[in-house]
C-alpha cells in the first residue's frame, strides 16, 4: 500500500497544487501518492492558477494535470498525512475531524522547517508573481525535509 499525503489550502489553485507537485517530485511514485484539496469550493474543477503553473514549470515540475477539488471528510480515511498551508485551513480541517486519529493526521506544512513555530504559507492569490516564487521556496524546503523523513521510515 502506498503512503498517501494530502496538501490543503483554501482554494486548491495556488499553494496546495504547488505543494502537491513539489512533494511528488521528491518521492518514489510506486511508494507514495500525493494529492491536494481546498477547504473552500470556489474553484472546483479548475486548473491551478496560471502563476502556480508557471512557477512550477520554471523548476521542471508539471502541475497541469491537477484539478481543484474540495476537502471531504472521507479524506481522513484515505490519507495518512494531511498538511495545512495556514492556520485557517488547519482549523477548518480539524472542525471536520471526528476522532483523535483524524486529528493526529493534520499538521501545519511549515512546522516541518521550524517545529512548533506555526508559521503560515502566505496566500499569494491577490499579489504579484514574486509571491508565488516565495511560496515555492518555502514549500520546497518543507517538502525536502518531509520527503527525507518519509524515505527513512
Footprint of ligand 4NP (CB under 6 A):
9-15, 38, 42, 123, 125
Listing from the earlier edge strand, what are the strands of the sheet with 32-38?
Answer: 32-38, 3-9, 81-84, 106-108
Give the active site residue among 15, 35, 49, 140: 15
CB of 21 vs ligand 4NP, minimal distance in Å: 13
Q: Name which of 81 and 125 has its Cβ closer to ligand 4NP.
A: 125
Cα-based distances in Å from 128 to 16, 84, 124: 18, 22, 7
Give the C-alpha separation, 71 to 79, whole Å: 12
Active site residue 75: no
Which positions ≥6 away from 131 have C-beta within 8 Å? 122, 124
CB of 123 vs ligand 4NP, minimal distance in Å: 5
Active site residue 129: no
Q: Name which of 138 and 150 has its Cβ closer to ligand 4NP.
A: 138
Q: Name which of 54 and 148 has its Cβ closer to ligand 4NP.
A: 54
Q: Name which of 14 and 142 has its Cβ closer to ligand 4NP.
A: 14
Give the active site residue among 35, 75, 86, 123: 123
CB of 153 vs ligand 4NP, minimal distance in Å: 28
Which residue's beta carbon is nearest to the bound ligand 4NP? 11
Nearest-10 crossing angle of helices 50-58, 129-152: 60
CB of 100 vs ligand 4NP, minimal distance in Å: 27
For the record, the C-alpha cell of 1 comes out as 500500500
Active site residue 14: no
Looking at the annotation, which residues are catalytic? Answer: 9, 15, 123
Amino acid at each position: 500500500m502506498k503512503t498517501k499525503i494530502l496538501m490543503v489550502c483554501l482554494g486548491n489553485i495556488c499553494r496546495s497544487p504547488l505543494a502537491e507537485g513539489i512533494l511528488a517530485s521528491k518521492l518514489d511514485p510506486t511508494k507514495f501518492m500525493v494529492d491536494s484539496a481546498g477547504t473552500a469550493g470556489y474553484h472546483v474543477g479548475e486548473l491551478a492558477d496560471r502563476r502556480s503553473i508557471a512557477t512550477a514549470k520554471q523548476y521542471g515540475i508539471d502541475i497541469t494535470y491537477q484539478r481543484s477539488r474540495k476537502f471531504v471528510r472521507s479524506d481522513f480515511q484515505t490519507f495518512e498525512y494531511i498538511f495545512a498551508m495556514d492556520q485557517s485551513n488547519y482549523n477548518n480541517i480539524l472542525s471536520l475531524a471526528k476522532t483523535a486519529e483524524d486529528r493526529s493526521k493534520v499538521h501545519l506544512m511549515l512546522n516541518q522547517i521550524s517545529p512548533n513555530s506555526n508559521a503560515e504559507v502566505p496566500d499569494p492569490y491577490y499579489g504579484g508573481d514574486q509571491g508565488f516564487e516565495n511560496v515555492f521556496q518555502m514549500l520546497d524546503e518543507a517538502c525536502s525535509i518531509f520527503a527525507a523523513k518519509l524515505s527513512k521510515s
